[in-house]
């Protein structure tokens, strides 16, 4: 078995023998590398400005379209999708659906005697638009742990969808319903879910929806008529937004959507402002993360993002799985697990 190491250096770096792969770099990747892989279009995973002339650059068609529409950057790349198998310098690069946002992928690097999985952000639960991510058959798993804290248990999507529809029906009876969430992710999911309502979509969401073929909803010029549903990002001043809506329409329901609202303290803070906080997330919740690890069969797990340290500790102490947070470049030690 050869020399393996993985670390975070403004992007995930995987090295095995003489190969180096860089995943989701936010700064210009240090050469030499065999390939740079992009998992999805969120800005904390892709920075188009550092990817010009980077080759080979690998991503899904949808991610490239999102970057082009949102940021105006066309990046020369090799297109992959769920089920793709690509050989780069004798390393097999496999792509899998990550279930996180449209176009999101997880990757497996198969070095012949070692398989390494990199999840990117992922969700095991299917949504109205995406199927759920399946565990990766790997020796080493590098996985996100955004909600890697036992407090984060989400209701099922069916329950969340039902609750949302009830709020939308109530809000649109006399006034409007405003739904706030990440433009990439919640933007598409809510558009698909509520396409049969009188729907208005913020321009930053509409631009992404259009290139993904989700042609529902209009962009409002001024305030939409009563009876409308408005999908938007999170505004800087929600209190002001609510004041404006209530003075215009008399009544309005305002909903913020994020997995973080599974924590009661966060939801009740918004409740005091008159905002419904609903835990609709593009990520797996804590049980989903655990399930993913167990179905991957990995012998070693690196955790990254969010609750990485807490989740690695849980895997070690409760499940006896060798796990640690992905080290930074400066904290590198050899991992003698292989
Ligand atoms: Zn993401």
Ligand 1 mean position to 204 CA, how many Å? 16
Query: Looking at residues 307-335, what average pLDDT do you find?
Result: 89
Cα 218 to middle of ligand 1, angstroms: 25
User: What is the pLDDT averaged over residues 311-326?
Assistant: 97
**E strand map for 89-159:** 91-97, 105-110, 115-118, 140-144
**CATH 3.60.15.10 occupies which residues in the chain?**
4-151+283-331
Q: Global pTM?
A: 0.95
**Tokens found for residue 245:** 């809506």
% of residues, the chain, pLDDT over 90:
86
CA 240 – ligand 1 centroid, Å: 28
pLDDT at 320: 95
122 CA → ligand 1 middle, Å: 8
Residues 313 and 151: beta-carbon distance below 8 Å: no
> What is the reported pLDDT for 284?
98
CA dist 229 and 217 (Å) reads 9
In this structure, of 7-21, 34-48, 66-80, 256-270, the range with the lowest mean pLDDT score is 256-270
User: What does the block give as tokens for 296?
Assistant: 């991957």
How many whole angstroms from 310 Cα to the centroid of ligand 1? 20
Using the mean position of ligand 1's atoms as its centre, give its distance from the Cα of residue 221 in Å: 30
CA of 144 to the centre of ligand 1 (A): 10
Specify the fold of 157-278: Rossmann fold (3.40.50)
Is 60 exceeded by the pLDDT of residue 336?
A: no
pLDDT range class, residue 332, cuts 50, 70, 90: low
Nearest-angstrom CA–CA distance, 17 and 40: 27
Expressed in angstroms and rounded, the spacing between residue 70 Cα and the centre of ligand 1 is 15
Tokens of 119: 């999840």
Q: What is the pLDDT of residue 302?
A: 97
| Range 137-150 average pLDDT | 98
* Window from 39-53, 143-157, 161-175, 214-228 with minimum mean pLDDT: 214-228
Confidence label for 109 from pLDDT (cuts 50, 70 and 90): very high
Ligand 1 centroid vs 104 CA: distance in angstroms? Answer: 8
Average confidence score pLDDT of the chain = 94
Mean pLDDT lowest for which of 20-34, 96-110, 189-203, 322-336? 322-336
**Positions of CATH 3.40.50.12650 in the chain:** 157-278
* Lowest model confidence (mean pLDDT) among 121-130, 268-277, 310-319: 268-277
CA of 44 to the centre of ligand 1 (A): 7
CA of 243 to the centre of ligand 1 (A): 31
Burial, 164: exposed, middle or buried (Cβ in 10 Å; 0-12, 13-18, 19+)?
A: buried
| 286 neighbors 306 (Cβ within 8 angstroms) | no
CATH of span 4-151+283-331:
3.60.15.10
CA distance 47 to 321: 33
User: How confident is residue 265, by pLDDT bands cut at 50, 70 and 90?
Assistant: confident
What local confidence, expressed as pLDDT, does residue 220 receive? 83
**pLDDT for the residue numbered 196:** 96
170: CA distance to ligand 1 center in Å? 31
Q: What are residue 266's DSSP bridge partners?
A: none
Distance of CA 179 from the midpoint of ligand 1 (Å): 19
Query: How much is the pLDDT for 70?
Result: 94
Q: Is the pLDDT of residue 50 over 90?
A: yes
Whether residue 90 is predicted with pLDDT greater than 60 in this model: the reply is yes
């Amino acid at each position: 078995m050869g020399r393996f190491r993985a670390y975070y250096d403004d992007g995930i770096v995987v090295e095995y023998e003489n190969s180096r792969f860089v995943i989701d770099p936010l700064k210009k990747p240090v050469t030499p590398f065999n390939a740079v892989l992009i998992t999805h279009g969120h800005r904390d995973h892709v920075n188009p400005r550092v990817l010009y002339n980077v080759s080979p650059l690998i991503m899904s068609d949808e991610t490239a379209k999102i970057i082009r529409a949102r940021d105006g950057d066309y990046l020369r790349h090799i297109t992959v999708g769920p089920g793709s198998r690509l050989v780069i310098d004798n390393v097999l690069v496999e792509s899998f659906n990550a279930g996180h946002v449209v176009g999101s992928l997880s990757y497996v690097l198969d070095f012949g005697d070692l398989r390494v999985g990199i999840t990117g952000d992922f969700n095991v639960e299917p949504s109205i638009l995406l199927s759920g991510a399946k565990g990766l058959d790997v020796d080493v798993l590098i996985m996100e742990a955004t909600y890697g804290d036992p407090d984060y248990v989400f209701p099922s999507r069916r329950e969340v969808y039902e609750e949302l529809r009830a709020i939308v029906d109530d809000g649109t009876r006399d006034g409007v319903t405003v739904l706030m969430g990440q433009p990439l992710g919640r933007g598409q999911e809510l558009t698909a879910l509520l396409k049969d309502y009188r729907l208005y979509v913020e321009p930053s969401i509409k631009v992404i929806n259009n290139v993904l073929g989700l042609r529902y909803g209009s962009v409002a010029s001024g305030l939409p008529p009563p009876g409308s549903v408005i999908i938007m990002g999170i505004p800087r001043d929600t209190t002001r937004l609510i004041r404006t809506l209530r003075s215009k329409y008399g009544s309005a329901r305002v909903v913020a959507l994020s997995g973080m609202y599974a924590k009661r303290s966060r939801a009740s803070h918004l409740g005091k402002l008159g905002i419904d906080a609903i835990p609709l997330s593009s990520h797996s919740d804590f049980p989903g993360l655990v399930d993913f690890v167990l179905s991957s069969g990995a012998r070693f797990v690196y955790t990254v993002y969010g609750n990485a340290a807490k989740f690695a500790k849980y895997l070690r102490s409760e499940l006896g799985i060798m796990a640690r947070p992905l080290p930074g470049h400066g904290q590198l030690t050899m991992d003698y697990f292989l």
